[in-house]
Structure 1
Amino acid sequence: METLYMGEEQIVVKIGEKEKTYPAGVSFLSIAQEYQDQYEDDIVLALYNNRLRELKKTVKKDGELSFLTTSDKTGKRAYRRSVTLLMQKAVYNLWGREHIGVYVRYAIGQGYYCELMKDGESCKITETMIGALKKEMYRLVMADLPIEKYSMNTDEAVALFHELGMKDKEKLFRYRRSSRVNIYELDHYKDYFYGFMVPSTGYLRYYDVTAYQDGFVLLFPGKEAKKVSEFVPSDKLFFTLKRSRDWGKLQQIDTIGALNDAIAAGKTQEMILTQEALFEERIGALAEMIVKEEGKKFIMIAGPSSSGKTTFSHRLSIQLAAKGLKPHPFPLDDYYVDRDKMSA
């Protein structure tokens, strides 16, 4: 065991196979800085006695400590969350006085598709604006500003987001059962995030911003923690997600808060029936397209396990049958071979 500090209350921290003593109240950040050179990627979170902790938290009792870096799944999420806050702050600095805000819409590849909004309408982003956004984000990173977290009463959070004009978050917290809310702050810019953050903007060196459709994509590292992934547009995925959002706007349930309002108003059945009608309309349009493209023998349906492929195939079959075709759906699940029967 190594004794590092004397003359004050001590705690014993086990890191790997070694035990060290530290003064009670030492931060995880201070300990992480001692061990950073042993890790290829940046340490961003701590695991203390099997409990996840932000690095700014302090150690008050004996325990076992390990670190999570940006190459770990949970560390990556904290990094992405923090870069998103960084981007929001940069947008606020650049265009907040013009009442332009930013909305994170969809996850596409290794990035988030975002849109600038003013008075409920999307603002077309230009390459000049992209350049300004990158420059401001870089400035904030170089300033190494602290990312602070504090807890407030839920009613106080509702009042805060009302004052900030964040109506979607205001609605969201009206249905929150927990009495406390964690708010993150970056240089006086406040927002709510579900999950942990890195200690400061100086950690956020790997990201990129590229224009896409009417907005932009905030890009993150992928498998390599210190290399931003190249953006590969996926238009089909984008427009599928956009159509889903358009359906939500059509039904006035385009946010979780609005969805909660609709459920509380007893509109659950109406929402389900409307979504079913919209979905059936899309299947009918797909069937029409298949009929027009003569000569099609096979229609392949791909998707994750339990995503509804079989159900969808039967609904499509009904639409095709209604147009005079004779479809025969069959699931490939029936053609799996047990591992012990597979040849080497």
Structure 2
Amino acid sequence: MIIDIRLNGIRHSNIEIEDPKPLADVIRETDIDPCLVLSYKINHTQYVNDEYLLQQNTMVNCITARHPEGYRIYQDSAIFILGKALYSLLGEKHSLVVEHSVGDGVFCEVFGTDIFTAEDCQRVKEEMREIVNSNLPINKEEVKLHEALDIFINLGRKDLHKNLSYTYRDSVHVYRCGHYYDFYIRPLADKTGMIQDFDVVYQEPGFILRFPSGKDFSIPKPFVLPKKIFALHQEHDKWLNILKVHTIMDINRLVIDYDISQFILVEEALHEKKIAEIASDIASKKDVKLILIAGPSSSGKTTFAKRLSVQLQASRKRPIVLGMDDYFLDREHTARKDNGDFDFESIYAMDLDFLNQQLTDILAGNEVELPMYDFIRGVRRRSHNYVKLGEDDVLVMEGIHGLNDLLTASVPAKNKVKIYVSAL
């Protein structure tokens, strides 16, 4: 039998065995450090631990935290240890909610207790470190659904109890460490000692569980809070609290009770209200003449630009949309990637000089003919579309380079507003 060993998806070695053999014994024949392997994946489909018995030709992928899949396992395992630490300190009377990502970590809140303080945060960190240093086993166990429901209601985990109550399977897999149980769809590390690097930082009204990152897989200090994104998440959380929607099981409840349409209408209204506030803020700034909208692919930039344009008109502004794609260089002048493909995502695929000259002319009050890019021929051609900026007019441009100062270097900062759109 040939065992194809891979490390984070990259071919590592082939090990030949004659008789069935535990995976741990095969890994010992390689130079892979098993202490770094968070999970083993068999033939791209099944996660197993090192006790798995190899009985036929098999591909084994050894997944570490350096792999995106392994990094998610590392994060989930750290959150599991956090849950166990809180259970050890507070018992079943508390409720841990992992709210959202922030920086290199996740923001968490603890409910069912008094106000969570910086001292409490330090106690949690110390308890987590004790659990990690004890190198306790994290066991994956299959239990009957009714047993799982009993386990989680006894632990005070009403969220998991409600979530699993919508499951129509006879049994489910749970993870156990000592007397603490939790439910995860992805696999966890086999032992707590594999999660050595983490940090717990107090951030009112909760705390941030930080994970290592970067080439050296470390945790930078001090922690720098992305204030705008954090404030946005906090505002969103407040609305979800008002709507009483905290987890996926709450969404399931709305669907089953036929209330999901109302929830969607409220969310859409809140979204539109936010766009209206942005438009109103822009309209109040007389110097602003250019609105730049950026975001990753498929983030809703074009839809947002259209909705913002409607709200700008409601604020007595006339939006003039400039197509960023119309300012591409002719194909023959476009830079290529190392593999020979055109690098259309590079900002240098744009004709920056031409764009900035047009922006300068438009802001000076001159009439300008906007370009039109012919993507079939790969050349820019005339559009016969002329624009002239009036007193109440604003330019709107959307594209992945909207936040890059090189794109609009000729436009003073006071004359432009940058908006980042992303499905956070």
TM over 0.5: yes
1:147 to partner: Cα distance: 0.3
Structure 1: distance between partners of 2:146 and 2:136: 28
Alignment TM-score, normalising by the size of structure 2: 0.71
- Structure 1 equivalent of residue 193 of structure 2: 202
Further displaced range: 221-230 or 193-202 = 221-230
Alignment deviations for residues 122-171 of structure 1 (CA, whole Å, 9 cap, x no partner): 83321x22222222111111111000110123333233322322122122
1:33 to partner: Cα distance: 4.9
Match of 1:84, SS state, is helix
Is residue 113 of structure 1 aligned with residue 113 of structure 2?
Answer: no
Alignment deviations for residues 274-333 of structure 1 (CA, whole Å, 9 cap, x no partner): 112111211222222112222111122221212111111121121121121112233424
Aligned in 2, Cα 1:78/1:190: closer, same or farther, shift over 3 Å? same
Aligned in 2, Cα 1:233/1:58: closer, same or farther, shift over 3 Å? same
In structure 1, what residue type is equivalent to 2:15? E
Structure 2: distance between partners of 1:32 and 1:91: 35
Alignment deviations for residues 94-122 of structure 1 (CA, whole Å, 9 cap, x no partner): 2226x233211111122111112116xx8
Match of 1:206, SS state, is coil
Structure label with greater radius of gyration? 2
In structure 2, what residue type is equivalent to 1:47? K
Q: Provide the identity percentage.
A: 28
Alignment deviations for residues 75-101 of structure 1 (CA, whole Å, 9 cap, x no partner): 11111111111111111112226x233
- Structure 1 equivalent of residue 155 of structure 2: 164
Contact (CA 8 Å) 1:13, 1:21: kept in 2 or not?
Answer: yes
Is residue 13 of structure 1 aligned with residue 3 of structure 2?
Answer: yes
Structure 1: distance between partners of 2:270 and 2:51: 49
Structure 2: distance between partners of 1:23 and 1:144: 32
Contact (CA 8 Å) 1:13, 1:22: kept in 2 or not?
Answer: no
Aligned in 2, Cα 1:266/1:239: closer, same or farther, shift over 3 Å? same
Aligned in 2, Cα 1:176/1:331: closer, same or farther, shift over 3 Å? farther
Contact (CA 8 Å) 1:44, 1:54: kept in 2 or not?
Answer: no
Is residue 133 of structure 1 aligned with residue 128 of structure 2?
Answer: no
Structure 1: distance between partners of 2:153 and 2:302: 45
Q: Which of 69, 73, 90 is equivalent to 1:74?
A: 69
Aligned in 2, Cα 1:289/1:14: closer, same or farther, shift over 3 Å? closer
Residue correspondence of structure 1 range 234-313 to structure 2 within 5 A: 234-313=226-305
Contact (CA 8 Å) 1:162, 1:170: kept in 2 or not?
Answer: yes
Q: CA RMSD in A?
A: 2.5
Is residue 103 of structure 1 aligned with residue 97 of structure 2?
Answer: yes
1:25 to partner: Cα distance: 5.7
Q: How many residue pairs end up in the alignment?
A: 328
Q: Which of 52, 58, 61 is equivalent to 1:58?
A: 52
In structure 1, what residue type is equivalent to 2:38? V
In structure 2, what residue type is equivalent to 1:72? H
Structure 2: distance between partners of 1:118 and 1:146: 28
- Structure 2 equivalent of residue 8 of structure 1: none
- Structure 2 equivalent of residue 146 of structure 1: 137
Aligned in 2, Cα 1:323/1:65: closer, same or farther, shift over 3 Å? closer
Structure 2: distance between partners of 1:291 and 1:30: 69
- Which structure carries more helix by proportion? 1
Contact (CA 8 Å) 2:108, 2:206: kept in 1 or not?
Answer: yes
Aligned in 2, Cα 1:315/1:49: closer, same or farther, shift over 3 Å? closer
Contact (CA 8 Å) 1:41, 1:71: kept in 2 or not?
Answer: no
Aligned in 2, Cα 1:153/1:339: closer, same or farther, shift over 3 Å? farther
Structure 2: distance between partners of 1:23 and 1:45: 23
Aligned in 2, Cα 1:322/1:177: closer, same or farther, shift over 3 Å? same
Contact (CA 8 Å) 2:42, 2:48: kept in 1 or not?
Answer: no
Contact (CA 8 Å) 2:312, 2:319: kept in 1 or not?
Answer: yes
Structure 1: distance between partners of 2:64 and 2:241: 39
